[in-house]
Structure 1
Amino acid sequence: MKQREIDFLGFLTAMAKRKKGRKTSRTRIGLDEVWTAFRRVPLRNPENEYEPLVLARQLDSLEEHGKIEQFRKRTRETVTLPVGIWLLPDAAPRPVPPMPIWHHELYWLAKEWRTATDRQRAAYLAVNAWFFSGPDLFRVPLRERALEIFGRFGSEEDFPMPEKTLDTLRSGPLFGDRDRLHEVLRTFTVHPPLLAEDFVEKVGDGYYQRVGTGDVLLVVENVTTWWSLVNTLPDNHRLGYVAWGLGGTFRASINTISAKRDIAEVRYFGDLDLSGLRIPAAAADIARKQDLPPVRPTERLYTALLDMGVPRRGKEPPAEMSTAAELVDWLPADHCTVSTSLLVSGRRLAQEWVGYQHLSRDEGWYGDVC
C-alpha cells in the first residue's frame, strides 16, 4: 500500500477504537466518518483530482488488501461511494495459492505472485486464461476488453460488474501502470469529446453530440459504446445526434427533443437488464402520450448483444414475470422470449459486448442508423 493509504487506514483504525468494539470483530464506519478520516490524510490528493474519485480508489485499494469491506449499498452520485464500510480485524496471512503456468505475454508476473492481493491474483488468472484462449488482439477500448476478459474468464463473485473491473483495479505492476496495461491488453482509453457550445450540449448528466444532419437521435447508455458507435458510423447515415450517459434523465429530457433538435425519431441501445429497459420503455410511453418522436429499439444492435453477450448475474434482484413481460414489450417481438428469461433469472447483458471490433467488421448494424 502507498503511504497515503497506510495513513488513511491508521485514522480509520483510531476511529474504530473510539467506538469501543471488540478487537476481534469488524467495525462499522459510516460514509461521513470515512470522509472525516480521509480528510486528515496528509497530501491526500497531490494531483488535485476530483476528491470522491480519489477516495473511491483508496477504498478499493484497502479492500483489495483485505483491510476493509465496502457496503453493497452505494450513493447515487456521479462517482458512487459505499454508504459505509466494515473495518476488518487483522487476520493471519493466508497461504499463497499455487502459481499458474504463465502465458509468454505474462511470464514476468511470476515474481509478483507471492506478494499480490487475492483480487490481483484472481485478475491475473483471468487475463492469463484469456491469452491462452487465443484471442483476437484487435485494439479496443479498455472497458470492452475488461468485459471480454472478466466476463468470460472471471468468476461472478470476484468480478460482479466485469466491464468496470479495470476502472477500480489500479494496483500492482500490471493494473497500476496504465501504459503497460494498454500495451499488454491491446487497449486504449476513450473519453467524451471536449465540450463546446456549438458541438455538444449538456442535458442533465448526459450529452448530445452532433454527428450529422439527419433527423434521428441515437441514445446510448454508456460512453464506451457511444465512442465505438460514433467511430464506426457508415458514411451515409440518418443520425443527427448521438446521446450518451442520460440515465434516468432521459425520461424527462425526451420532452425537449423535438423542439430543440428537429428530431423525427429516437433510437435507443443500452444494457439488457431491468434499469436498461425501464428507461427507454418509460421514455417511449411519455413520447407516445405527448405526441413526441417515437422511441424505438436498435433492433440489430440488440440482436448482436443477444448473440454475442455472456449473461452475468445482475446488480438488481430477479424480476417478476409480469414486470419482465411489460418491459420487454418495448423490444422487437423476436427478442422478447429470451429477454424475459434473462430478467426473471436476475441476469444481465452489458452493452459493451457489442464493441468496437464487431462494429468495425460487421455492417449489419448499419440498418439501425440508416
Structure 2
Amino acid sequence: MSTPGPAALLAALRATGRTRIDRAGLWRAFLDAVPSAQGSAEARRMLAAALDELAGTGALTPTAATDDGVPPLPRAVRLTRPAAAPVAREAADPWHPELAAAAAVRAPAEAVRQVNRWLFAGGTRAGIVGLRERALEITGDEKAFDAGLPVPLTPEILRAERVALPMHRERLPGGGPVLLVVENADTFHSLLLALRGDPGPIGTLGWGAGSAFLSSVSSLAADPPAAIRYFGDLDAAGLRIPARASVQAQAQALPAVRPAPGLYRALLAHGRPAPAGPADHSDVEWLDPGLRGPVRELFATGHRMAQEAVDRRVLGSGRDWRDGLDP
C-alpha cells in the first residue's frame, strides 16, 4: 500500500476546524483521507510517515511525547496557521494628465477611472455635449453625475455642460423684483389669479414642477431676479428640492432660494395631514426658525401636507399669506 499524500491528510486535519488534534483525531483524519487503510498492518507506518513529512514542511508541530508503538506516534499535533496568500495587486492605471489630481485621492470613484480610460481613448477630442449624454457614453448610466461630479472631475474635463431646463414663468404687470416659485401646477395657477390684480413685490411667478426646479433654477442666470421665494409641499421632497436648489443657485451667483413664510403658515393652518412614509427630514432647517417647530411636529407624527390646501378660497380670504415676500 502506498503512502498517502501528506496534502490529503493535512486537508482532513484542517477540516476538523481545530488547531490542536489529539492522537484519536489524527487516526480519524487519516482514515478519512485514506479509507483503504482501515485494518491495514501498514496504517501506522503510513500515518507516521505522513506526519513526519508535514512536520518537515512546518505545516504542523507534533508533541515531544509519543506512544510506545512502532513507529511511535505523537500524542497530539498543533496545526500551523497557513500564511495568508499575498494579495494580488492590480497594476495601477496611469492617470491622464488632465486627471493628475486623482493620484492624490485615496479611493477615486469608479466613474473617475472610467473617465480616465475615456480620455486616453480619445475623449480629449470630443465635442461639448449634455452632461447626461456624456454620463451615458462613459458609464452607461445617464444619471451618474446627477448628484454632482466626484473629485477631481469637472465639466471641462468631461467636455460636457449641465443642461438647464427653462422654467415656466409668468410676468406680473406692475410687479416688483421678487420671483416666487411654486412647486405644483394647481397652486401655481391659483396664485397667478390671486396676484394678477395686486402682485405687490412679486414680479414673476415661476412653476418649479417638482424636482425639475433643481435643473431649471440654473436657467435663471440669464435673467437673475433680485430675490427668490419658494412655496412647496410640507414633506421630505418638498423641502429637499428648494434646499438643494438654493445651494446650486448661490454657486452660480444667484440669490439664495428662501421660503415664503406666509404661504407656509397658511398651509399649516389649512392643510390636511396625510400619512407619509419614513424619510429624512433634515431639510427642515431650510425653513424660517418660526416654522421649524410646527413642521417637525407634523413630521414626527408621520404626516405631510400638500400645498394644494392653500387654494383660491384661502388666498381670497385674507392677506396674511403674503407675509415675507419682500426682497
Structure possessing the higher radius of gyration over alpha carbons: 2
- Output the TM-score relative to the length of structure 2: 0.46
